[in-house]
Amino acid sequence: MSTVIKTEPNAFKDQLAVRSWKLPLTFGALALFAILVFAIFGPDGRATFRLSQDGDAWQLPDLVLPAKPVGILAAAGCVALAILSYLQTKLEGRTRRSVSNAFTVLFVLGLLVWIIGGTKSQNITLVGLFTGAMLIITPLVFGSLSGVLCERSGVVNIAIEGQLLAGAFTAALVGSITGNAYAALVAAAAAGVLVSVLLAAFSIKYLVNQIIVGVVLNVLVAGLTGFLFEKIMKIKVQGVTVYNDPPHLPNLPIPLLSDIPMLGPMFFRQSIIGYLMLVLVAVIWFGLFRTRWGLRVRAVGEHPQAADTMGINVNRTRFINVLAGGAVAGVGGAYFTLVAVSSFSKDMTGGLGFIALAALIFGRWNPIGAFLAALLFGVAGNLQSILSLAVTPIDGQFLAMLPYALTILAVSGLVGKSRAPAASGEPYIKG
Amino acid sequence: MRDPRGVEANESDQPAVSAGSLTGDGPADGGAPAGSAGEAELTGVGTSGRLPSTATGGDGDHTGKRIVREIMSGSALVSVLAVVVALVIGGLLIAVTDKRVAAASGYFFAEPGNTFAAAWTAVSEAYGALLRGATYDPGARTWLGQLGIFETLTFATPLILAGLAVTIAFRAGLFNIGAQGQIILGATFAGAVGFGLDLPPVIHLLAVIVAGAIGGAIWGGIAGVLKARTGAHEVIVTIMLNYIALSLVLYLLKNQLKAPGSTNPVSPAMKDSAVFPLLLGDNFRLHAGFLLAVVAVVAIAWLLNRSTLGFELRAIGANPSAARTAGMIVSRGYIVVMLISGALAGLAGVAQISGTEKSLDSEVAGSIGFDAITVALLGRSTPWGTFFAALLFGAFKAGGTSMAVNADVSIDIVLVVQSLIVLFIAAPPLIRAMFRLKTPSTRGAGA
């Protein structure tokens, strides 16, 4: 009875959505890997995850997982999801987001148990793994948020690294001079803005290729901070370095909330910069996707002519967003010298700005996505440093590659297509 | 197969409306404030935000006229002024942070002359040391120290090769930030052959060179294939590949490529038959890799300006849509150019490992991959421009060391000056505004 009605929309749908087999194929390959590595050749050891730290108010028992059975389960789940992805692609033209998310979680779980079960040494505190990751990811998230602000308005920000480094340096210098950590924080934001002013002026006003400006600004900031570090920060007065001794921002645990197992140590025992990060993720997400301002910014980033036609000042919007991004990244840089270590050293950001760029892309230019991507990268990085001395089934260097490899897969559309704002990188000339 | 009309369309660079899709670069092109052809290359106004090839270093027929026009229009003048302004700003930094200047400025209002004298001394000492270190220093004790010019050439060698890698990708409209990773891979491959195999003298060195080029080409090719097949942005991919290369070489140095008995992640030394012969005897480090670099410049200049392939690459860079319309296969062009670009960067890796380093460690690429980008920009994406820019940066490196030792000015100031040069060169309107130069007529600029 309904043949006509039924085939019509399907045919229409097929025409609209080009069926891509990349995702099912990738999942299939990964599932095969899971069967071979997690299940068949899985280690016989146990993976012990400690869920509580010693000082916690409520102690949870350790989670002990036998590596092989869990590996088999994870592999089976991966296979099932890969088949599901195949069927969905065949019938609906695309794999649902929930399936790909579930696949990712299951695969990571299997990988984690495999690595830890095969490691001959210690137990892994799951809390430690995540709280340690939180320490790494704080500057990462700030950097990514800076990127989100810039790129959503259509300016590519390769200078995140430079902004972080400028923030770190300025925070150390101003903190040492004033002795006030909050003044240092403000100064760091100002330093980030300063880098952004250059980025915005050259790319928006003088129409220099944005990627070139970004690359060059990174070199400029590295050179400038390095030079001033040698010239100013190494000055010693009575054997003490006076200009490289910034105050430390203490951790401020939130009562009650910080005692929640797992979540407490992760989110509620941070410095003020850490809390600011959580707030900013939420605020920027809300701002971009739920307010008039955000709609305008996104319009400028996707289709500047249309935005201009509607009376939005494209270049002013971009300028403001780039400056805001600089302030955010500058604060993130302050984390290095005010929280992580209490002194500045040359090139101390060590390429984190580029991982932030990776997190931004892997998180699909979305603040929350970028936060989760940064969390994943942070866990991988932390796992690498925890396991660096142990004998593991996988070398730590491969864990170190993970963020970059995932980002390449993401931009090439193998694991979910990550698409940049359409006008990102394009200068806009009214006319 | 190549329709001459497509060619014309490309040369006059009518902004094909389809090229920039809806993003508004099309109509803007004619009135690009950047002005002359040589400048459009860096402004990204030309075609859809990409680096279009410049008409400046283009085909040879009009080279003579073009040089005249260049000088008249002040394009070359802008480059020189950019260097001068960058040096002045660097000098200000040196003066402001100098101890003697600080001491003299304490009584600035009583005796302002002293402050300026101190500043002059500080700056002239620093730049003097830089210049002497890079060229000729009669006061030095060793031959090597006296004739810094050869040290300049040594430092310039990998920069020329890696700069060419960035240049050729630029001309095809691709931004290869991955020279760093390609150098590492090239050096790794070259090293594996250089200390892993026993071959007769000349053949061994040739094998090392080929292996290095292949290693770099693989790494560049990944970015090219992904760009061509999936549209993945080459900037992102090459940045990520840089870090993957670093992790990979660290892994290999811990395992397969580690020198036996060593606790550090360093490879065994290259066999004697696998290193470049020294050109000027044992007193200088200058090696035959420099000759390889010069040959590469000539070859790439020929490839870009005289060959069909080079024409195709430039057409793709200037306007991919027009190139496609003219029957060129854009995706194949992307792959080919990234293979060549990677191979050149791989040769820079060979110059490092067979020329100066002699063994592989994770620092083998230094900062050459990133310096190469600035070199290519300063060289305005032409092979010979890149060559001279690399010589300048080589001089900065050689002189910077002597400046750090003799004038107590950190070598980081060189980074500042280099990046400022590129910023100013990339924004000619800024320099023009600074010196009130006339904006050249856009006529005949071609882009």
| Under 8 Å between Cβ of B297 and B160 | yes
In angstroms, how far is the first alpha carbon of chain A from the final one?
Answer: 56
Which long-range CB contacts under 8 A does A314-320 form with residues at least 24 apart?
Answer: A314/A154, A314/A428, A314/A430, A315/A204, A315/A205, A315/A428, A315/A430, A317/A153, A318/A153, A318/A154, A318/A155, A318/A200, A318/A204, A318/A428, A319/A200, A319/A204
**CATH code for the domain of B359:** 1.10.3470
Question: What is the C-alpha to C-alpha distance for residues A187 and A180, in angstroms, rounded to an integer?
Answer: 11
Nearest to B51 among A209, A226, A229 (CB): A209
The answer to whether residue B59 is domain-embedded is no
- The per-residue pLDDT for range A266-312, each reduced to its tens digit, is 788 888 999 999 999 999 999 999 999 999 999 999 999 999 999 99
Q: What percent of chain A has pLDDT over 70?
A: 88
Work out the average pLDDT over A3-8: 44
Q: A357, B226: Cβ pair inside 8 Å?
A: no
Identity at B185, one-letter amino acid code: L
- The per-residue pLDDT for range A156-199, each reduced to its tens digit, is 999 999 999 999 999 999 999 999 999 999 999 999 999 999 99
Nearest to A209 among B32, B43, B414 (CB): B43
* Packed helices A314-335 and A181-200: angle between N→C axes, nearest 10 degrees: 140
Q: B254, A397: Cβ pair inside 8 Å?
A: yes
Residue B357 has pLDDT above 50, yes or no: yes
pLDDT score for B261:
80
What are the angstrom distances between the C-alpha of B40 and each of A208, A423, B27?
Answer: 9, 19, 15
Task: Give the residue from B429, B428, B393 showing the smallest Cα distance to B411.
Answer: B393
Domain architecture of chain A: domains with CATH: 3-118 (no CATH), 127-411 (1.10.3470)
ipTM > 0.90 (yes/no): no
A and B: number of Cβ contacts within 8 A: 182
Substitution target in B17, B22, B23, B414 with the highest count of A β-carbons within 10 Å is B23
Residue A147 has pLDDT above 80, yes or no: yes
The answer to whether residue B49 is domain-embedded is no
Residues of B whose CB is below 8 A from A408: 226, 232, 236-237, 240-241
Identity at B199, one-letter amino acid code: L
Nearest Cα of chain A lies from the Cα of B36 at a distance, in angstroms, of 14
Cβ within 8 Å of residue B265, ≥6 positions away? B250, B253, B254, B258, B361, B362
pLDDT score for B27:
35
Within 399-418 of A, beta carbons closer than 8 Å to B belong to 400-401, 404-405, 407-408, 411-414
Residue A125 has pLDDT above 80, yes or no: no
SS3 A213: helix
Nearest to B24 among A209, A304, A346 (CB): A304
Q: pLDDT confidence of B223, banded at 50, 70, 90? A: very high
Find the range with the poorest average confidence among A310-319, A374-383, A412-421, B212-221.
Answer: A412-421
pLDDT score for B11:
37
- How many angstroms from the chain centroid is the CA of residue A16? 32
Nearest Cα of chain A lies from the Cα of B272 at a distance, in angstroms, of 31
* Locus of tokens 């090719």: B221
* Locus of tokens 């003020």: A272
Task: Give the residue from B150, B381, B358 showing the smallest Cα distance to B273.
Answer: B358
Work out the average pLDDT over B253-258: 85
Residues of B whose CB is below 8 A from A222: 412, 415
Question: What is the C-alpha to C-alpha distance for residues B176 and B153, in angstroms, rounded to an integer?
Answer: 24
How many independent structural domains does chain B possess? 1
Work out the average pLDDT over A235-259: 83
Find the range with the poorest average confidence among A85-94, B117-126, B395-404.
Answer: A85-94
Q: A209, B49: Cβ pair inside 8 Å?
A: yes
**Of A206-220, B175-189, B360-374, which one has max mean pLDDT?**
B175-189
Residues of B whose CB is below 8 A from A351: 243
Residue B95 has pLDDT above 60, yes or no: yes
Residue A326 has pLDDT above 90, yes or no: yes
- How many angstroms from the chain centroid is the CA of residue B20? 28
Residue A13 has pLDDT above 60, yes or no: no
The answer to whether residue B281 is domain-embedded is yes
- The per-residue pLDDT for range A35-82, each reduced to its tens digit, is 888 777 777 777 777 666 666 666 677 777 777 788 888 888 888 988
The mean of the pLDDT values for chain A is 83
- The per-residue pLDDT for range A105-117, each reduced to its tens digit, is 888 788 877 777 7
Identity at A89, one-letter amino acid code: T
Residue B4 has pLDDT above 50, yes or no: no
Q: Which residues span the domain enclosing B92? A: 73-435
Residue A85, token pair as written in the block: 């992805």
Residue B93 has pLDDT above 80, yes or no: yes
**Of A199-208, A283-292, B29-38, which one has max mean pLDDT?**
A283-292
